[in-house]
Amino acid sequence: MIRGHGGNPGLSRMVRPGLAGVVSFMVMTSETLSTVPPLSLEELHSVDAWWRACNYLVVGQIYLQENPLLKRSLEPEDIKPRLLGHWGTSTGLAFIYAHLNRLIRHTGQDCIYLAGPGHGGPALVAAGYLEGGYTEVYPRVTRDEEGMRRLFRQFSAPGGIPSHASVTTPGSIHEGGELGYVLSHAFGAVFDNPELLAVAVVGDGEAETGPLEGGWKGISFLNPQRDGAVLPILHLNGAKIASPTVQARKDPAELEALYEGHGYEVVWVEGDDLPWMHERFASALAYCYERIRQIQQLARSDEWDGQRPDWPMIILRTPKGWTGPKIVDGNQVEGTWRAHQVPLAQVRDNAGHRAQLEAWMRSYRIDELFNPDGSPTDLVLANNPAGDKRMSATPYANGGKISVDLDLPEYRDYAVDVDPGQRGAEQIESTRKLGEYMRDIYRRNPTNFRLFCPDEANSNRLGAVFEATDRAFAERTDILDVKLSNSGRVMEVLSEHNCHGWLDGYTLTGRHGLFATYEAFAMVSASMTMQQAKWLEEAYHLEWREKVPSTNILLSSTCWRNDHNGFSHQSPELISVVLNLRGTVSRIFLPPDANCLLEVSEHCLRSRSYVNLIIQDKQPQPQWLTIDEAVEHCTKGYGIWDWAGTEDLGREKPDIVLACAGDVVTMEAVAAAEILKARLPELKVRFVNVVDLMCLFRPKDHPHGMSTKAFTETFTDDVDVVFAFHGYPGAIHQLVHGRPNPDRFRARGFREQGTTTTPFDMVVRNNVDRYHLVMDCLNNAWQTPKGSHELYRWCEDQLRRHADYIVENLEDMPEIRDWRLGGDASGALPLPQEPEPRTSEQTQEQGEDIAVPPAD
């Protein structure tokens, strides 16, 4: 039995002191002692020296541009002109790091360190510098006086490094800029990494965010048998930028209940008394480590009953800005929000402040920490782990280094059989095919691939994956549950933040995955998509960062088929978000059918370091392309569909280009082209479908952008283009900017408007339906043949009939509902009789005055 406190007689818990500073204690078993011995005096000195060295380097980074070793008194010109950085959290981060190093040295444990308060970046940079990992990656920043000078000058400075634990920081997979994700990133990192321990420091500021609070439940999806462990350390330093944190001011008993309620065993370490805090924290860390090993050993033995363990966590309460200036200009600084950023300001001009800075830096006893040449002393170096065990050098934090390509099955084996003579005849749910493909990816890659989804894998028709594995669930299961177990590896949690964060942690440590979600609710985690893209973008410029598997996002349950759920479930905004990212990292795919979806998915799963957005509705839909055609079409990214248009009329240019991107609107465009072909065969219509949206950009805006030649070969340079688009029409205007005559693009797409409708009415309300597209083509064509006017009228009639029909019958007209390309119900049959000869009035009307709604 590993649940419950005190269940293991050999281990008594840390006792939480009622007041800060009271010494906590714990009794170690001999078994524990065998792995992590008590802190010896020698080790204490080394750990403490390492910590002081780290703190010294933090202060130096914030303040100094010269004189790094204080070989002379500080002069104004030694001080940086702009003082930037966050002191408050840094010493706490360094304290934890110092002790983790000791743990690693004794145990050989593979650890990664995630600094939730990433603004304490200088501590992480300093740690990597002390370990040597930093210099290995940035050889100019040597471990000597000149290197230290460079270390200081580069911090938060032009051409240097940002102030956070960013992409540039070796050992980091988590920037901690946008707060809330440290736990989800940590859990993502340890899934399927049984030997890894992710230490996640949660700041008490971050602890106030919703996404962070939602992150604790990672343990409800963690299996100690096959996954690694997360050790959360809640760092209560008491204050945010300008006021105290909620958790620091709660009754400690309440706080403990909260985390026990989340499923953790709470170990408290509180105080600022040295060296006792070292003793206390070393014991706490050793206890937690042993507890984790014990949980894992039991879980990996035959004796585990499968119950979710109570995982240990530490609540560490230390003063904000610990070891920094206590009082500045009469104000208490240490222990208050005033220590958050730069505790001493105006240091260049204010000699008193400068003297205080110097005294503060000298208080770390520089001679014990650095040799005269600037290299760390042996006392400091003694606390470094070796080689890849150093957290600044662990390959887990540079996931591309250890990433293994997916063993992908041949995607053509999952293709839909499409008869080019009967395109669109069969309607299938395209995402089912992807589900089958992913099922076999799961089978072939049992520890290297996961699907993340907010409880919708089945709803999104990806349910075939459950033939290969269950949903992961570490809480109690029930006999009535279906495909749910703690050995399952489909990650379903009703939290976009957890899904996205887990995927990010999983891919940044080298594994592969896909996040499938509702299109509208992808916006819940849109900021995470942006932050991940920023990470990948910046990593792209760092040679030492190996490329990692891409962040693949599949949006099903699209805006076009959420008529019944209503307005709140309709938004294609994530397209616009990804459009604004850099071309080095961003890709958007709108496959029109299942075969294209398969090709695109394979491409995305093979790719590295991209954010791939794939949009494909889950409802039954017509299938257009054979697998060979799909491969060709998707490889190019766009193409002319001769079979849909009427290109064979001999004239050089078409009268109109009918373009589309997105599955639902492609169906409407195909239907519109069919109507035109049947009823107005003289109109020369070119039909273009776009899968890879970025192709529309100019090559200088995106690497996938088509050349001007390709663009004009596809869209001509002067014929009007009616563009049926899945997203907001403004995106098309943004994309074709700079192309020949961009104003000829009449984009139709999703527009914000809420009422309840049937599926077809969704597209009618947005004017992207077949009838509006036909009318648009008539209205913008180079020349319109005889019969155009009648056809226009007929479209108007159809729209009126439709509006009446759905209110009466609560569903779409049969000719819409049952429409198949070339089918009897297609509504594309020619007009039953030859139109009457037109009057001149009608002729004029056709050419000029047909009133249509604005094109976008």
Taking phi over 0 as left and psi of -120 to 50 as alpha, with beta for the rest, 705 belongs to beta
Decide: 162 and 102 in contact? Cβ < 8 Å. no
d(CA 416, CA 623): 8
Q: How far is the CB of 39 from a copy of itself (least distance, A)?
A: 32
- Which of 425/542 has CB closer to a copy of itself? 542
d(CA 495, CA 180): 13
- Which of 153/587 has CB closer to a copy of itself? 153
> What is each CA distance from 692 to 72, 517, 592, 669, in whole angstroms?
61, 20, 11, 17
Pairing of the two strands 656-661 and 721-725: parallel
Helices then strands, counting H and E runs in the chain, come out as: 28, 22
Query: Residue 735's closest CA among 631, 659, 630?
Result: 659
- Which of 217/433 has CB closer to a copy of itself? 217
Token duo for residue 160: 């240097």
Helix ranges restricted to H, 687-737? 708-715, 729-736
Token duo for residue 739: 């192309």
Token duo for residue 761: 């009415």
d(CA 318, CA 337): 13
- Which of 210/847 has CB closer to a copy of itself? 210
Q: How far is the CB of 454 from a copy of itself (least distance, A)?
A: 8
Q: How far is the CB of 788 from a copy of itself (least distance, A)?
A: 24
d(CA 20, CA 114): 26
The helix (run of H) or strand (run of E) holding residue 611 is: strand 611-615
Q: How far is the CB of 648 from a copy of itself (least distance, A)?
A: 33
- Which of 107/336 has CB closer to a copy of itself? 336
Q: 643: burial class by Cβ within 10 Å (0-12, 13-18, 19+)?
A: middle
- Which of 790/812 has CB closer to a copy of itself? 812
3-state secondary structure of 215: helix
First to last CA, the chain: 65
Token duo for residue 733: 């205007």
Cis peptide before 275 (omega within 30 of 0): yes
- Which of 64/644 has CB closer to a copy of itself? 64
Q: How far is the CB of 18 from a copy of itself (least distance, A)?
A: 14
> What is each CA distance from 224 to 172, 401, 503, 611, in whole angstroms?
24, 25, 19, 30
Q: How far is the CB of 472 from a copy of itself (least distance, A)?
A: 10
Q: How far is the CB of 237 from a copy of itself (least distance, A)?
A: 13
d(CA 568, CA 555): 16
Residue 806 is given by DSSP the state H
Q: How far is the CB of 160 from a copy of itself (least distance, A)?
A: 5
Q: How far is the CB of 531 from a copy of itself (least distance, A)?
A: 6
- Which of 619/626 has CB closer to a copy of itself? 619
Q: How far is the CB of 79 from a copy of itself (least distance, A)?
A: 10
With tokens 């590993």, the residue in question is: 2
- Which of 297/332 has CB closer to a copy of itself? 332
Give the number of other Cβ atoms within 10 Å of residue 208's Cβ.
15
Q: How far is the CB of 681 from a copy of itself (least distance, A)?
A: 32
- Which of 57/634 has CB closer to a copy of itself? 57
Q: How far is the CB of 212 from a copy of itself (least distance, A)?
A: 7
- Which of 214/645 has CB closer to a copy of itself? 214
d(CA 238, CA 246): 8
d(CA 121, CA 272): 22
Query: Residue 515's closest CA among 214, 184, 262, 186?
Result: 184
- Which of 528/605 has CB closer to a copy of itself? 528
- Which of 401/733 has CB closer to a copy of itself? 733
- Which of 411/473 has CB closer to a copy of itself? 473
Q: How far is the CB of 238 from a copy of itself (least distance, A)?
A: 9
3-state secondary structure of 65: coil
Q: How far is the CB of 296 from a copy of itself (least distance, A)?
A: 21
Q: How far is the CB of 843 from a copy of itself (least distance, A)?
A: 28
Q: Dihedral sign for Cα 208, 212, 216, 217, please.
A: positive
d(CA 793, CA 773): 13
Q: How far is the CB of 717 from a copy of itself (least distance, A)?
A: 13
Query: Residue 317's closest CA among 366, 267, 269, 262?
Result: 269
At residue 670's C-alpha, the angle toward residues 669 and 671, to 5°, is 90
Decide: 24 and 270 in contact? Cβ < 8 Å. yes
- Which of 278/739 has CB closer to a copy of itself? 739
- Which of 254/841 has CB closer to a copy of itself? 254
Q: How far is the CB of 282 from a copy of itself (least distance, A)?
A: 28
Q: Tell me the HSE value of 586 on the side-chain side, using a 13 A CA sphere.
A: 24
- Which of 563/593 has CB closer to a copy of itself? 563
Token duo for residue 329: 């200009």
Query: Residue 848's closest CA among 788, 762, 791, 758?
Result: 788
HEC assignment per residue over 703-758: CCCCCHHHHHHHHCCCCCEEEEECCCHHHHHHHHCCCCCHHHEEEECCCCCCCCCC
Token duo for residue 743: 């104003």
- Which of 132/224 has CB closer to a copy of itself? 224
Query: Residue 607's closest CA among 488, 542, 478, 704?
Result: 704
Q: Please name the residues in contact with 371: beta carbons below 8 A apart, sequence gap of 6 or more.
A: 377
Q: How far is the CB of 166 from a copy of itself (least distance, A)?
A: 6
